[in-house]
């Protein structure tokens, strides 16, 4: 490919609305352009990378025995009503009506469609196991689309679904997908780490996520290096504190806290540690009343844990300011558990406090010196909070966990019979009895991988593609192409020879200054660059530069194709 003909869409300026480096670089290098919030065009350069990701994923899925299908992006509501997810999924599900006023959605995932397909096509245990996958566009109306294609509303996912006769078969299918994922991320040059995960709204009972560790990651991953434990922090269970609650020393008193709305403002105003305060969150209950969830001021709610409570409506929904006022008589910033006429569920660590500070259920006031069992009832406690660095490791409580940020690039689940039972997905076993399929589902974020790869590998000059993802393997930058016949002839011959040898070559044949060409090739991250000019040719050499290491070496022109084969281990 020649730059004169290629749709190169690089930008000089860093786009103002792009917060993280991968989003900035994807725009600057001309990989993507935004069409609407969370909806993107993939331009030729980006599409080349995307195709490479899909190809590796496809090869490894095929190798693991999965078969490719293509299911519809648009799905009828009835399927989702049968599984119960039409109501459970919430506003992330993009719903619409056709001209006959029938309800449809744009698929955020395909368990319903695939289970219905399996139900009608797989009759006997002899047809099992089966694993079907597709690489397809999904839509999730994410509450906060951001970071470009990292969290978009429309994105491409590889999703696979396995069907087995029994739980053992499901475990084997799961293991084979897990192994395929390890190979996929290795082949893509990504350092991805498998961690124990929660199954979320997809359901099921056993799951792992694959994460690329990066500071910009939206997930927090807990590690315990001595015992090898690795899990999404959502999944880290915390037990009640082993130490006793200290004795009460203070008496409860109301204190005016004008203009204090947050825990940070409260601890600054009263000059106390946030650890000595409580925060009270009002969420929708499963019954008529809302429910109060109480945490220590410095802790965050783990919505996955909260959703396991019967008292709480699923999906978890925070009460609005109006609902909070109706239920507590106060604005959100001054709510507290004392005298509250709602069900109250308290996190273990919040229940271990004495002489704490909490909202007084009166605007502009808090209570100090509050104690459980004296100023309010002994609490009903539960594990409600997000784990943090330093919490005990769930498998080896003598060790404490470390927390790193991660980007979720893949997720594998054992679903069991959740969908087959809901959607009558049954087959006949060897004894002629009807049995539900044991299912697994396996997702990879194809579009997100491109962003994750850039987060992991870039420098101040631009993207540094891992070789398997690079849109081109090598670029040729001629010096004086239009002026020197010798340069022009050599460049053309080498271009043809490299393409012949199987390299994807980008020849910069524009009439630009060398500096402009160099910086653009650096920005788009081509792994190998060669410069060809009259000076070098006089000595029979090309000037080679490695994008990742910055190393520059002069190589003999006549053996360069062989040299590049070695350098790129093609
Ligand atoms: P997240 O927690 O990041 O929202 P998820 O658990 O909802 O992800 P899955 O349902 O497991 O995601 O989807 C499989 C894969 O699809 C994810 O591992 C991720 O790589 C990708 N993915 C999910 N949501 C998005 C999105 N909004 N934008 C881009 N990729 C996504
Ligand atoms: Mg999600």
CA distance 17 to 43: 19
Determine the atom of ligand 1 nearest the C-alpha atom of 108. Answer: 10
448 lines ligand 1 (CB under 6 A): yes
Nearest to 372 by CA among 346, 345, 354: 354
Distance 421 CA to ligand 1 centre (A): 25
Q: Give the residue, by CA position, lying nearest to ligand 1 atom 2.
A: 408
Distance 465 CA to ligand 1 centre (A): 22
> And the tokens for 322?
């109006």
Q: Give the residue, by CA position, lying nearest to ligand 1 atom 31.
A: 445
- 């259920």: which residue's tokens? 361
Distance 146 CA to ligand 1 centre (A): 13
> And the tokens for 306?
């909260």
pTM (2 decimals)? 0.89
pLDDT for position 206: 85
Determine the atom of ligand 1 nearest the C-alpha atom of 197. Answer: 6
136 lines ligand 1 (CB under 6 A): no
Q: Give the residue, by CA position, lying nearest to ligand 1 atom 4.
A: 151
pLDDT tens sequence for the chain (570 residues): 999 999 999 999 988 889 999 999 999 999 999 999 999 999 999 999 999 999 999 999 999 999 999 999 999 999 999 999 998 888 999 999 999 999 999 999 999 999 999 999 999 999 999 999 999 999 999 999 999 999 999 999 999 999 999 999 999 999 999 999 999 999 999 999 999 997 665 555 689 999 999 999 999 999 999 999 999 999 999 988 767 899 999 999 999 999 999 999 999 999 999 999 999 999 999 988 999 999 999 999 999 899 989 999 988 999 999 999 999 988 888 899 999 999 999 999 999 999 999 999 999 999 999 999 999 999 999 999 999 999 999 999 899 999 999 999 999 999 999 999 999 999 999 999 999 999 999 999 999 999 999 999 999 999 999 999 999 999 999 999 999 999 999 999 999 999 999 999 999 999 899 999 999 999 999 999 999 999 999 999 999 999 999 999 999 999 999 999 999 985
DSSP state of 258: T
Nearest to 48 by CA among 477, 529, 524, 549: 524
Q: Sheet containing 103-106: give its strands across.
A: 74-76, 103-106, 94-97
Pocket test for ligand 1, best of 195, 408, 409, 413 (most atoms within 8 A of CB): 408
Pocket test for ligand 1, best of 54, 138, 448 (most atoms within 8 A of CB): 448
Q: To 5 degrees, how large is the angle CA 292–CA 295–CA 321?
A: 45
Positive or negative torsion for Cα 520, 524, 530, 532 = negative
Positive or negative torsion for Cα 305, 311, 313, 316 = negative
Determine the atom of ligand 1 nearest the C-alpha atom of 151. Answer: 28
- Do 152 and 110 touch, CB atoms closer than 8 A? no
What torsion, rounded to 10 degrees, do the Cα atoms 489, 494, 500, 505 define?
-110
Determine the atom of ligand 1 nearest the C-alpha atom of 140. Answer: 27
Distance 297 CA to ligand 2 centre (A): 27
Q: Give the residue, by CA position, lying nearest to ligand 1 atom 7.
A: 200
152 lines ligand 1 (CB under 6 A): yes
CA distance 419 to 254: 53
DSSP state of 288: S
92 lines ligand 1 (CB under 6 A): no
Distance 140 CA to ligand 1 centre (A): 9
> And the tokens for 366?
């808090």
- 């001054």: which residue's tokens? 334
155 lines ligand 1 (CB under 6 A): yes
Distance 436 CA to ligand 2 centre (A): 27
CB atoms closer than 10 angstroms to residue 225: 11
Distance 371 CA to ligand 2 centre (A): 39
- Do 471 and 32 touch, CB atoms closer than 8 A? no
369 lines ligand 1 (CB under 6 A): no
CA distance 270 to 260: 10
Distance 407 CA to ligand 1 centre (A): 10
- Strands (DSSP E) found in 234-322: 253-256, 278-283, 291-296
Q: Which one of the ligands is nearest to 152 CA? A: 1
Nearest to 208 by CA among 395, 445, 442: 442
CA distance 398 to 391: 10
- Do 457 and 450 touch, CB atoms closer than 8 A? no
- 């994410």: which residue's tokens? 142
Q: Give the residue, by CA position, lying nearest to ligand 1 atom 21.
A: 445
Q: Give the residue, by CA position, lying nearest to ligand 1 atom 22.
A: 445
CA distance 289 to 326: 11
pLDDT for position 17: 87
108 lines ligand 1 (CB under 6 A): no
Q: Give the residue, by CA position, lying nearest to ligand 1 atom 11.
A: 411
Distance 408 CA to ligand 1 centre (A): 7
Q: Which one of the ligands is nearest to 412 CA? A: 1
**CA atoms within a 13 Å half-sphere pointing along the CA-CB vector of 553:** 12
Q: Give the residue, by CA position, lying nearest to ligand 1 atom 25.
A: 151
CA distance 129 to 376: 57
Pocket test for ligand 1, best of 445, 446, 451, 452 (most atoms within 8 A of CB): 445
CA distance 331 to 433: 59
Determine the atom of ligand 1 nearest the C-alpha atom of 407. Answer: 3
Distance 200 CA to ligand 2 centre (A): 9
142 lines ligand 1 (CB under 6 A): yes
């Amino acid at each position: 490919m020649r730059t004169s003909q290629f749709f190169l869409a690089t930008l000089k300026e860093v786009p103002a609305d792009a917060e993280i480096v991968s989003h900035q670089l994807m725009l600057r290098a001309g990989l993507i352009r935004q069409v609407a919030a969370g909806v993107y065009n993939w331009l030729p350069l980006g599409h080349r990378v995307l195709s490479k990701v899909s190809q590796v994923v496809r090869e490894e899925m095929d190798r693991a025995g999965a078969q490719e299908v293509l299911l519809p992006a648009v799905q009828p509501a009835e399927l989702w009503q049968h599984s119960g997810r039409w109501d459970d999924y919430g506003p992330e599900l993009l719903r619409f009506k056709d001209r006959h006023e029938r309800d449809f959605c744009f698929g955020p995932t395909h368990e319903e469609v695939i289970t219905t397909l399996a139900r009608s096509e797989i009759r006997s245990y002899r047809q099992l196991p089966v694993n079907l996958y597709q690489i397809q566009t999904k839509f999730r109306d994410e509450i906060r689309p951001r970071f470009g294609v990292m969290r978009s509303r429309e994105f491409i996912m590889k999703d696979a679904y396995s069907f087995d006769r029994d739980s053992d078969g499901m475990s084997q299918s799961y293991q084979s997908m897990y192994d395929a994922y390890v190979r996929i991320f290795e082949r893509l040059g990504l350092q991805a780490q498998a961690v124990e995960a929660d199954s979320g709204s997809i359901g099921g009972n056993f799951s792992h996520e694959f994460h690329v560790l990066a500071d910009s990651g939206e997930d927090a991953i807990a590690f315990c290096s001595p015992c090898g434990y690795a899990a999404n922090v959502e999944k880290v269970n915390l037990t009640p504190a082993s130490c006793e609650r200290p004795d009460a020393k203070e008496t409860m008193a109301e204190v005016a806290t004008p203009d204090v709305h947050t825990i940070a403002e409260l601890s600054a105003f009263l000059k106390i540690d946030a650890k000595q305060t409580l925060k009270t969150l009002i969420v929708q209950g499963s019954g008529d009343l809302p429910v109060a969830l109480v945490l220590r001021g410095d802790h965050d709610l783990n919505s996955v844990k909260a959703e396991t409570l019967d008292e709480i409506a699923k999906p978890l929904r925070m009460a609005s300011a109006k609902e909070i006022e109706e239920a507590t008589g106060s604005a959100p910033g001054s709510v507290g558990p004392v005298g509250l006429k709602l069900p109250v569920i308290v996190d273990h660590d919040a229940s271990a406090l004495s002489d704490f500070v909490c909202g007084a259920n009166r605007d502009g006031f808090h209570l100090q010196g509050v104690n459980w069992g004296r100023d309010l009832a002994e609490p009903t406690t539960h594990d409600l909070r997000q784990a943090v660095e330093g919490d005990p490791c769930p498998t080896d409580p003598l060790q404490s966990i470390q927390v790193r940020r991660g980007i979720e690039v893949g997720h594998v689940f054992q679903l069991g019979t959740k969908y087959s039972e809901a959607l009558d997905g049954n087959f006949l076993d060897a004894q002629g009895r009807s049995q539900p399929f044991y299912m697994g589902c396996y997702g990879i974020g194809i579009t997100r991988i491109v962003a994750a790869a850039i987060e992991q590998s870039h420098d101040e000059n631009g993207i540094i593609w891992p070789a398997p993802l690079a849109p081109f393997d090598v670029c040729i930058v001629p010096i004086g192409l239009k002026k020197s016949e010798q340069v022009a002839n050599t460049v053309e011959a080498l271009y043809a020879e490299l393409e012949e040898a199987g390299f994807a070559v980008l020849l910069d044949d524009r009439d630009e200054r060398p500096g402009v060409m160099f910086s653009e090739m650096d920005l788009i991250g081509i792994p190998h660059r060669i410069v060809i000019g009259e000076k070098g040719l006089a000595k029979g050499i090309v000037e080679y530069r490695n994008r990742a290491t910055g190393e520059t070496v002069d190589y003999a022109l006549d053996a360069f194709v062989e040299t590049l084969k070695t350098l790129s281990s093609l």
